[in-house]
Amino acid sequence: MKKNLLAHNQNYINRWIITYADFITMLLALFMVMYALSQMDINNLKEFSKSMGKEFNLPATQNSPEKMQLNENYLQQVFQTTQTSVTYSEIDASTEKNSVKELKQKLSGFESTIDKEAVEFENIKNIVKEKLNNVEGVSIARAPRGLLISLNNAILFDPGSDIIRLESVILLDKIAGVLKSIPNSIRIEGHTDNIPIKTSKIPSNWELSTLRATNIIRYLVNKHNFSPGKLSAVGYGEYMPIADNSSKEGRATNRRIDIVVLSSSSKIFNP
């Protein structure tokens, strides 16, 4: 009988609301405290620290600058704020002016180097053209990264091979004679078309393009005593085309070796 009475008592049924309301109130208070702490600046943190020290009978640190600094740093670590302030009061104006002046001088020197390099590249371009005597499959042009001497792979290699053809050695010798004396770094870039290759030695076009570029470097070092430190090899495979791979002519154009005389500006983007 008592059980049935409680089951139908409306006040008894709704008693959970009191517990729920208490929980929500405490949760709201928690979030309010968290929000207040997140908005504290260092002065508020100091006041908070003093208040906590009084409540818990902690020793005062007002008379010790070292302790105050330690306490302040500790509070900054504990209560990370969402705002960052930057002051320039400690910046020396004369130092800043000197830095700007030094930067302008470097930029001026850099521009002078680029202008001088442009003239040198034009001279190299004319000399290479003269020595090669308009050989078919060879093109020379300026590019953002430097002077670009592009050689069609049909001149240098047999299809699917990384071995330099004997007939192309004379061509490489003429180019090497011009490039050996220049101080710029030289990068050999290998390119292929998008026809897959897979042999026991060469599993993909990446390996084929890299092996071809590396073998040209080896030839320049061994035959013409190029400094290995100024040479680098890159294999791009089929992923840097300059023509459409859907046609036979386009694929033939994409199969190439690029000998790049790197400009000084390229050092900004390349090690």
pTM for this entry: 0.59
Q: How does residue 237 score in pLDDT terms, banded at 50, 70 and 90? A: very high
Distance separating alpha carbons of residues 243 and 240, to the nearest angstrom: 9
Taking alpha carbons only, the member of 217, 155, 222, 227 closest to residue 187 is: 217
Higher pLDDT, 108 or 129: 129
**pLDDT 10s digits, 86-99:** 444 445 556 666 67
CATH 3.30.1330.60 residue spans of the chain: 115-268
Higher-confidence residue of 7 and 128: namely 128
Q: Supply the mean pLDDT for the chain.
A: 78
Model pLDDT, residue 86: 46
Helix, strand, coil shares, percent, the chain, to 5? 55, 15, 30
Helix residue ranges per DSSP H, 85-168: 93-132, 153-156
CATH for the stretch 115-268: 3.30.1330.60
Determine the average pLDDT of the residues in 103-125.
71
pLDDT band of residue 198 (cuts 50, 70, 90) is: confident
Q: What is the mean pLDDT of residues 245-267?
A: 90
Give the per-residue pLDDT at 202.
94
Stretch 204-229: mean pLDDT: 96
**pLDDT value at residue 63:** 47
pLDDT confidence of 153, banded at 50, 70, 90?
very high
The contacts of residue 228 (CB under 8 Å, 6+ apart) are: 217, 221
